Amino acid sequence: MTIQEQDKTTATRIRQIREAFTDARNKAGLKDAPEELLAGFDETEFDEIIP
Amino acid sequence: MSECVGEGFDPVHLLIIQATPFCNIDCSYCYLSTRSETKRITLDTVEAIAKFLRDAPVSKRPLTICWHAGEPLTVPISFYERVFSCFAATPGTPAVRHTFQTNATLINEDWCDFFKRWSVHVGVSVDGPRAIHDAQRVDRSGRGTFDRVMRGISRLRQHEVPFGVISVLTKESLNSPDAIWDFYRSNGITRVAFNVDEGKGVHEASSLMPSEHLAAFRKFMSRIAELQERDPIIEVRELDSMRRHLTAPPTAEVRKTDNRPGAILNINVDGYLTTFSPELLGQVHSRYGRFAWGNVHVDSWEQFTKNAQFQRARADIKAGVDLCRESCPYFAVCGGGCPSNKLAEHDTFVAAETAKCRFKIQAVADVVLERLEREIGLSSAGVAN
């Protein structure tokens, strides 16, 4: 597998896992996860939040 | 307070203030060049910060202020009492909450009382069991600091002060996930973050090289994920946040505060300020000049946003994030690499992948993705290109 193929597979896997969890939430009637995610600064241990 | 964010600016999410550059210990991987300087921030500078904030848009209230970039507990409690009161009393300043990132060696009963009185969030830097911790986190005489750190942690626990920890991973610690996990369990530590030893600032050479240590790092995180599954009471920042990013809606994008203008404000002991990666503050670079794009004593928020050197750095950082978006399959769960790492490794912000990306994003994403796929019966081997 070339690096480009491998990269495409990773991006595809990420999309597919997100779709699978979104489908599962929809089927269960759960509120969807937020579209906007925030990744914080490494030197604080609490900084990763979903607004 | 003005809500004028400025074109292309994020509202402020985190304010990092350097109370002093001084640190009472001397860790081998520290990137701060000024950690022997004993000067302290003045109350005048703090008042200027409080006034500066009146015009700065903030993302949520209370705004988090992290006292960092030097050991904050080397400054007396009485000073912080005055400083915290100043923030609370300055008209128009957003409500704030204070956090300390500390090596914990100076924590005593008085500090615990203070933390509780002001609801301070405490983050402790500790790398794991004695042998791992003392290999890097030493005092200025070269002695390990483990016993002093554990006394501090013990006091926090006695006084029921909530705290989390950050552990820096070196090539030595990658062999010991079980020992490190047991250390957290046996010391009542339930919030953990892992940083990797990075080459930046005055610490130019990391002990971790992707070519040699990436497989060991992946194995370490994989084992930590297994241990966390058995012991879910312990939160692990890297794993938990990656799970959130990987299970978000398909079109979700991560905003990484390090590369978003305005999201992190960094102010040093003299009142100079920058945004983006805090490690940049005070550095000097041939293209970007000195990373100090204003001073709270003389500049307004508006003047800061129009600083010419800032604009140049901002354009390059954006170009670097665009490169990440175009070239990296992990972009959706990352949001683009850290500017300070790009500068340290590539000597420019217009760059994509760094060693930190390969450890902290790609390897962690691989570990979590594989586990999630297994959990819901999606096999990575069967994924079509």
Distance from CA of B286 to the nearest CA of A (A): 25
| Helix locations, chain B, DSSP H | 43-52, 77-89, 109-117, 130-136, 146-158, 177-186, 210-230, 237-246, 301-305, 308-327, 339-346, 355-356, 364-376
B6 and B180 Cβ atoms separated by less than 8 Å: no
pLDDT at A8: 60
pLDDT at A50: 37
Provide, as residue numbers in chain A, all residues whose Cβ is less than 8 Å from the Cβ of B249.
18, 22, 32-33, 35
ipTM: 0.87
Provide, as residue numbers in chain A, all residues whose Cβ is less than 8 Å from the Cβ of B254.
37-39
Domains of chain B are: 14-246 (3.20.20.70)
Profile chain B (385 residues) by mean pLDDT over runs of 10 residues.
60 94 92 86 96 88 90 97 92 90 97 97 96 95 97 98 95 95 97 87 77 94 97 95 94 92 95 94 92 96 94 96 96 95 95 95 97 86 43
pTM for this prediction = 0.91
Partners of B290 in beta bridges? B284
Phi, psi of B196 (to 5 degrees): -110, 150
Nearest CB neighbour to B195, from listed A8, A18, A42: A42
Radius of gyration over every alpha carbon of chain A, rounded to an integer in angstroms: 15
Is B165 close to A45, i.e. CB distance below 8 A? Answer: yes
Confidence of residue A38 (pLDDT cuts 50, 70, 90): confident
pLDDT at A35: 72
pLDDT at B113: 98
B275's enclosing H/E stretch is strand B273-275
* Cα B279 from Cα B34, distance rounded (Å): 12
pLDDT digits (tens, 9 = 90+) for A19-36: 999 999 998 888 777 777
Nearest CB neighbour to B249, from listed A33, A39, A41: A33
pLDDT at A1: 53
Chain A residues 3-32 within an 8 A CB cutoff of chain B: 5, 7-22, 24, 32
Is A9 close to B195, i.e. CB distance below 8 A? Answer: no
Provide, as residue numbers in chain A, all residues whose Cβ is less than 8 Å from the Cβ of B193.
42, 45
* Cα B352 from Cα B130, distance rounded (Å): 37
Partners of B139 in beta bridges? B25
pLDDT at B4: 47
pLDDT at B101: 93
Is A15 close to B332, i.e. CB distance below 8 A? Answer: yes
Distance from CA of B339 to the nearest CA of A (A): 12
Distance from CA of A6 to the nearest CA of B (A): 9
B198 closest CA partner among B337, B321, B344, B64 = B344
Distance from CA of A2 to the nearest CA of B (A): 12
Per the document, the length of chain A is 51
Nearest CB neighbour to A5, from listed B66, B164, B385: B385
* Cα B332 from Cα B274, distance rounded (Å): 26
Tokens of A27: 């089927």
The region, left, alpha or beta by phi > 0 then psi within -120 to 50, assigned to residue B383 is: beta
pLDDT at A46: 56
Which residues, at least 6 apart from B304, have a Cβ–Cβ distance to it below 8 Å?
B273, B293, B294, B310
Per the document, the length of chain B is 385
Distance, C-alpha B155 to centroid of its chain: 24
Look-up of token digits 């009472």: B24
Is B164 close to A32, i.e. CB distance below 8 A? Answer: no
Query: Among residues of chain A, what percentage have pLDDT more than 90?
Result: 31
Provide, as residue numbers in chain A, all residues whose Cβ is less than 8 Å from the Cβ of B62.
none
The residue extents of the domains of chain A are 1-51
- Give the chain B residue nearest A15 (alpha carbons): B250
Q: Which of B168, B191, B196, B237 to mutate to test the interface with A (most CBs of A within 10 A)?
A: B237
Q: Which residue has the higher pLDDT, B254 or A39?
A: B254
Is A37 close to B248, i.e. CB distance below 8 A? Answer: yes
